[in-house]
Amino acid sequence: MTENNPVDHPDHYTRDDAIECIDAIQASMRDDQFEGFLRGSVVKYIWRYKLKGHPTQDLHKAQWYLNRLIELLEGTPADV
């Protein structure tokens, strides 16, 4: 069971404590498609970080997606 963390492991992104949404998305895509998804997510969170009332949380989320992209490109496992 993972502890709720709004950046690394949000409760609303996990179904039945079994798989996180990000892992299901990755499993449904080729690596190049998932790379594009991660890049888009980085841009999305940086684009709107001042608009939702939690600017540093959104910047940490952008950083999380960037780290995941780096791990994908380096072939290292994601930090879970």
Domain boundaries, the chain: 17-74
CA angle at 77 for the pair 29 and 11, rounded to the nearest 5°: 75
For the chain, the C-alpha Rg in angstroms (whole number) is 13
CB atoms within 10 A of CB 53: 7
Q: Would you mind telling me the total number of residues written for the chain in this entry?
A: 80
Written as tens digits, the pLDDT of the chain (80 aa) is 456 676 666 666 565 667 888 999 999 999 999 999 999 999 999 999 999 899 999 999 999 999 999 999 999 766 54
Contact 42, 61 (CB under 8 A): no
CA angle at 58 for the pair 16 and 60, rounded to the nearest 5°: 85
Q: pTM value?
A: 0.75
